[in-house]
Amino acid sequence: MTYRILADLVLVIHGLFVAFVVFGGLLALWKPRMAFWHLPALAWGAMVIGMGWICPLTPLEVSLRERAGQEGYAGGFIEHYVLGIIYPEGITRATQMLLAAVLIVGNIVVYTVWARRRADARRAAAAAAAAQAGQSIQGRS
């Protein structure tokens, strides 16, 4: 029972991580500090997809399922849980690489917006500080 619960927990964490890789850039638009967590996750996710690697969470989940007396599965998390939902039958390496590129390009767009917002906020803060300093100097005269 414990191994099954642990396998399910790994499954949930893995699913949340995949969702964070895909949508974390949008979260960073809302909470800019999330970018510092999302960018490494994005790099890892793009490498795993683009290189055809298996994420270490997948064998961990499979091992826990087997210890719980359940059947494991071959392949990776995406192939087992997500492939049938969003990927077409018979996905090729070229398609995987294209998906990794879409993930990266989409996030480049998001982070371009993110960087512009940060730059605008800094300029506004600098202008406000300069205006405040100008008022302080005039007030002393």
| Residue 124 exposure: Cα atoms within 13 Å on the Cβ side | 6
Residue 71 backbone phi and psi in degrees, to 5:
-80, 140
**Confidence (pLDDT) at 136:** 67
Highest mean pLDDT among 60-64, 76-80, 97-101, 131-135: 60-64
The predicted-structure confidence for 82-124, as pLDDT tens digits, reads as follows 656 555 567 788 887 888 888 889 989 999 999 999 999 999 9
For residues 59 and 80, the answer to whether their CB atoms sit within 8 Å is no
The predicted-structure confidence for 15-60, as pLDDT tens digits, reads as follows 899 899 989 999 998 998 999 999 999 999 888 888 878 888 888 9
This prediction's pTM: 0.69
For residues 10 and 77, the answer to whether their CB atoms sit within 8 Å is no
CA dihedral 78, 83, 84, 85 (to 10 degrees): 80
Burial zone of 122 (CB within 10 Å; 0-12 exposed, 13-18 middle, 19+ buried) = exposed
Q: Where are the alpha helices (DSSP H) in the chain?
A: 2-30, 35-51, 57-67, 77, 83-86, 93-140
The identity of residue 56, as a single letter, is P
77 pLDDT more than 70: no
Q: For a pLDDT cut of 70, what percent of the chain falls above it?
A: 83
Q: For a pLDDT cut of 90, what percent of the chain falls above it?
A: 35
Measured distance CA(115)–CA(76) in Å, rounded? 34
141 pLDDT more than 70: no
Both structure tokens of 113: 């917006």
The identity of residue 94, as a single letter, is A
